[in-house]
Amino acid sequence: MNKGANVGDFIKGDLIRHDRFGIGRVDETSGYGENQRCMVYFPKSSKQTSVAREQIRPLTEAESASYELVKLAIEDIRGEESPAIEALDRWKGGELILKSSNPDLEPKKISLDVFFHKIVMIRDRLRVMEQQINGRKGLSDAEKVQLQQYITRIYGSLTTFNVLFKNKEDHFVGQKGED
């Protein structure tokens, strides 16, 4: 946090914590002292939000350093272990339209690029969950197998979305039949 003339004023780049939105980074500020407002980007929600100074508090130097190190490590791991996942070209730039049977309700339109990104995030988080289960020392082998079976069934439920993926190796794969 800025240690300038107005102690407590936030500046661009400061890492802050908000009770509802979590950790964020200040993008812009206006005003000073008690009247200061900040535009803050919150990675958890992928949104930029205007917040009043009293709604946020700075991260300590140790928290800021830890946050930056973890962020770098995650970026490094993602770059090494997660190749780019591509949507099938015919879906790029498209829209998903959810239309209710009730004619009084407006259809909901979602960018297919956003929807595809969320599907890929689900897949990545399931993979992390698998790793967490396998690395958990407090679980017996039987418990690990049982939890893995649930994850396999989840993958099976998500195979409908394979039509979005460009490469077959990126597809969801559920439980396969006996060979």
| Mean per-residue pLDDT over the chain, rounded | 82
What are residue 134's phi and psi, to 5 degrees?
A: -65, -30
- Predicted confidence at residue 76, as pLDDT, reads 67
Q: What percent of the chain is modeled with pLDDT above 90?
A: 25
Q: What domains can you pick out in the chain, each with its CATH number?
A: 1-80 (2.40.10.170), 82-170 (no CATH)
Is pTM beyond 0.75 here?
A: no
Torsion of CA 175, 143, 77, 155, to 10 degrees: 20
**How far apart (Å, rounded) are the C-alpha atoms in residues 164 and 110?**
14
